[in-house]
Amino acid sequence: MGRTRAQNRELAEYEYTWCRTFGHDWEEWHSDHKPEFGYYESVYCPRCTTERLFTIGYNGEVIARRYVYPEGYKLTFKITASDLRRQMRKQGWWTESSKNITAKAKTSKRRLVAVK
């Protein structure tokens, strides 16, 4: 099933294709988020600014995980990683040097929005 014009437009302007397609580039991160119980350990992706929070119980077990995505990370429709790779090819990502691809994959720091 094809996408609508609105979906194609949203996809053409989408800034987080690299992380959605190939995964995040996690780094250690100190989060200001406070869980209801236990404590958080967190990692951060500098490319898209997504934060992954691990709630750790007092006995050291990981109780829960959640993500804090940048505004605009969630698409309004479902798409597979294969479709995203095809979109990257259409937009010329594969014809550029790897240095340019890395630069294109990095986005500006945006305000983080919690998504459950």
State pLDDT tens for residues 91-103. Answer: 776 665 455 555 5
> Sorting pLDDT into bands at 50, 70 and 90, what band is 115?
very low
State pLDDT tens for residues 36-63. Answer: 777 888 999 999 999 999 988 888 899 9
Question: Distance (Å, rounded) from C-alpha 34 to C-alpha 56?
Answer: 11
11 SS3 class: helix
Place of tokens 């190939």: 22
What 34-39 contacts at long range (C-beta under 8 Å, 24+ apart), as own/partner pairs, is 38/63
CB 85 within 8 A of CB 101: no
| Partners of 27 in the β-ladder | 44
What is the residue-averaged pLDDT of the chain? 77
List the chain domain ranges: 5-114
pLDDT of residue 67: 92
